[in-house]
Amino acid sequence: MGRAPGTDAYWQRRFFALVAGLGVLGLLAWACSGMVGGKPARNDQVSAAAYGSAAPARSAGGQPGAGAGAVPPATSARGGLSASAAAAAPSPSSSAGGAPSPTSSASRPTASTARGGTSKVRPGQPAAGNGACPAADIVLTLLVSKPSYGPDEQPRFQLDVVSTDASACAFDTGPAALHVVISHGGQIAWNSAACLHGAASYPTLLQRGVPVTVSMGWNRRLTASGCPATTMAASRRTYVAVAQSGAAESPGQLFRLK
């Protein structure tokens, strides 16, 4: 039998359509296989390098160690340090062994002032054969315990002796050598050394800039009237007190007897 007109053309078109479809399916299969077996596999390798490798060995300075067992840090696909490796790496400011920072230092004792905190040599400590302090190198300071005193109170004084000599020297802090003079209106009312008999001397060692302190009190009697002093000082008056030792004299300090 003969074929109907147009039959061959119909089957030819079906054949080419089938071949084209198979080609498209082949391209899709190839593309899918590349996506599944290519890029994800590389990501898995990078992830394994980032999370499965050992931490890099470091020297004391915080730099990567040069030993044979050192493992380089994992890098990302772009060549930089991966996020996990960057988080695990110690900061450059950290140091091995917890060494103290360069700014920390051992505490050092501070120098004490001459008016407070300085250890004071007690009067009477032997001068151990040192020569006498030059008079020009002695500085005397007198302090009054109160600015005014009631009828039943006795004034108290603190005498500070300081040497400016470069070497240690001896200074007599005995009552005959170091004394207090109280005056009123330019007239001497009391001298602590006026009525002494056979007073002992106290050669005391003075170091440069280190004060020696001597305390002294006044019983409000006047040595200006003679010894023994029996006359009491007048109240409601202002007096001036100074410390003296040879040619050295302290600045005057005012106080009042009520």
Select from 164, 155, 114, 151 the least CA-distant residue to 236: 151
Do 181 and 241 form a contact (C-beta atoms < 8 A)?
Answer: yes
Report, as an integer, the average pLDDT of 74-96: 43
For 72-76, 128-132, 242-246, which range has the lowest pLDDT when averaged over its residues?
72-76
- List the structure tokens of 226: 């003679």
For residue 172, what pLDDT band results from cuts at 50, 70 and 90?
very high
pLDDT of residue 232 exceeding 70:
yes
- Name the token pair of 239: 């007096």
Residue 54 has pLDDT above 70, yes or no: no
Q: Answer for the pair 89, 81: CB distance below 8 angstroms, yes or no.
A: yes
pLDDT bracket for residue 227 (50, 70, 90): very high
Give the residue with greater pLDDT, 251 vs 36. Answer: 251
Helix (H) or strand (E) holding 221: none
Residue 186 backbone class (left: φ over 0; alpha: ψ -120 to 50; beta: rest) = left
Rounded to two decimals, the pTM is: 0.52
Could you read off the pLDDT of 102-113 as tens digits, one per residue?
Answer: 333 333 333 332
